[in-house]
């Protein structure tokens, strides 16, 4: 039994961050019902690609119809959590704003997940991960010296700063409710989350230990002992030998003696050291370097592609990856709880596939469900 067993979550269908937040809750036992738009005909959707829908059920409702709005309100009366992905004001226009919903269910956790947040001059604007992390300062951290910022795909804003922190906020609000008995509204903004993830770097900068000149700092490829290096077969090794004892193991593995190894913290030779490390790493294959450094404290590991990770011995021993939705490889639920662990199931619903079941659970009879279908209120 997962730690969130018995928690009822209504997730309004949206893009990456909201379904990820819902997936985290579903992985740990919550009953997550995704509300999709009621389609006019058969849904054209490949459920085998819906990795973020794993473990959920899907209900189709036409929220442009007052009957659909009322139906969702009925669902929310017995729910614990609502997650909504819309721009500020949309839920209010639909008649589903926090005041209305909370009046029907004062214990509801109402999570609003957006890019810019509920307030601020940018709040009504469209945007994507790259824009949110740009304004947060996080995007400025990624890239090499003298080169343009490189977006780390959409992991920082959408998933870490957005979906993951939203799920954490929901968990905290659920815990607080055990003491107060009251729900609350969560304003989860990806711009806030991306900035929060950068707290450590803000601290470094404030202490004079981080430069705004990208690619010149210890952790952003400015130091030769914290970087990636190409191997002779066109693959890469990661190096993170910050502490002196780890650096000693690194240079030993690279073939240096203690007397001829480059001085670790001599910044005047950083470029020369990086060039030397580059040449050495290119002299062997990734497999050869892996053999040399595995089992050492050099903080060196191969850079694996997504298609390789499940086969690595360490990942295999931990069962870090499982066969998921569509028969593809996906990460297992994380983090790991000793008594009530999460589980990444291998099923995801087609949009609206569970409409009858969800509404039957709500107490609607077959005739009432049929009438709603005939009126195009539900899918």
Q: Which helix (H) or strand (E) holds 368?
A: helix 366-374
> 128 an active-site residue?
yes
Catalytic residue among 65, 128, 196, 312: 128
Structure token pair of residue 139: 């995007």
**What are the distances in angstroms from CA 102 to CA 6, 31, 80, 114?**
20, 20, 11, 20
CA distance 290 to 239: 12
Residue 186: CA atoms inside 13 Å, Cβ hemisphere, count? 33
Q: Which residues contact 222 (CB under 8 A, 6 or more apart)?
A: 145, 215, 216, 270
Instruction: Collect all residues with Cβ–Cβ distance below 8 Å to 176 and sequence separation of at least 6.
Output: 184
Longest dimension (CA), the chain: 85
Active site residue 312: no
Catalytic residue among 27, 31, 50, 158: 158
Please state the three-class secondary structure of 194-249 as a single string. HHHHCHHHHHHHHCCCCCCCCCCCCCCCCCCCEEEEECCCCCEEEEECCCHHHHHH
Q: Nearest to residue 92, comparing CAs of 117, 67, 118, 126?
A: 118
Structure tokens at 146: 């003298």
Q: 126 is written with which tokens? A: 């469209």
What residues are annotated to the active site?
Answer: 128, 158
């Amino acid at each position: 039994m997962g730690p969130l067993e018995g928690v009822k979550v209504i997730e309004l269908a949206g893009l990456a961050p909201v379904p990820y937040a819902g997936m985290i809750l579903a992985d740990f036992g919550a009953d997550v019902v995704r509300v999709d738009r009621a389609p006019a005909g058969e849904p054209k959707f490949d459920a085998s690609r819906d990795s973020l829908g794993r473990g959920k059920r899907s209900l189709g409702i036409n929220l442009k119809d007052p009957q659909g709005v009322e139906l969702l309100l009925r669902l929310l009366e017995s729910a614990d959590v609502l997650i909504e992905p819309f721009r500020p004001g949309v839920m209010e226009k639909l008649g589903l704003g926090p005041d209305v919903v909370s009046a029907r269910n004062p214990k509801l956790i109402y999570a609003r997940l957006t890019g810019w947040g509920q307030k601020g001059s940018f709040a009504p604007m469209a945007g994507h991960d790259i824009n949110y992390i740009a304004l947060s300062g996080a995007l400025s951290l990624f890239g090499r010296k003298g080169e343009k910022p490189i977006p780390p795909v959409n992991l920082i804003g959408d998933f870490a700063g957005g979906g993951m922190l939203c799920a954490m906020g929901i968990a905290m609000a659920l815990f607080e409710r055990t003491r107060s008995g009251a729900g609350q509204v969560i304003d989860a903004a990806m711009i806030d989350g991306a900035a929060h993830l950068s707290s450590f770097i803000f601290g470094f900068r404030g202490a004079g230990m981080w430069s705004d000149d990208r690619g010149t700092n210890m952790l952003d490829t400015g130091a030769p002992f914290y970087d990636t290096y190409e191997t002779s077969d066109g693959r890469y090794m990661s190096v993170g030998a910050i502490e002196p004892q780890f650096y000693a193991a690194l240079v030993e593995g690279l073939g240096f003696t203690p007397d001829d190894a480059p001085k670790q913290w001599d910044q005047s030779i950083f470029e020369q050291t990086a060039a030397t490390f580059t040449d050495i790493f290119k002299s062997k294959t990734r497999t050869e370097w892996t053999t040399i450094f595995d089992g050492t404290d050099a903080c060196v590991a191969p850079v694996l592609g997504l298609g390789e990770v499940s086969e690595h011995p360490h990942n295999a021993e931990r069962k870090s990856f499982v066969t998921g939705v569509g028969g593809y490889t996906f990460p297992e639920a994380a983090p790991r709880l000793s008594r009530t662990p999460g589980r990444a199931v291998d099923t995801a619903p087609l949009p609206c596939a569970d409409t009858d079941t969800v509404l039957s659970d709500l107490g609607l009879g077959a005739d009432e469900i049929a009438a709603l279908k005939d009126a195009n209120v539900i899918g």
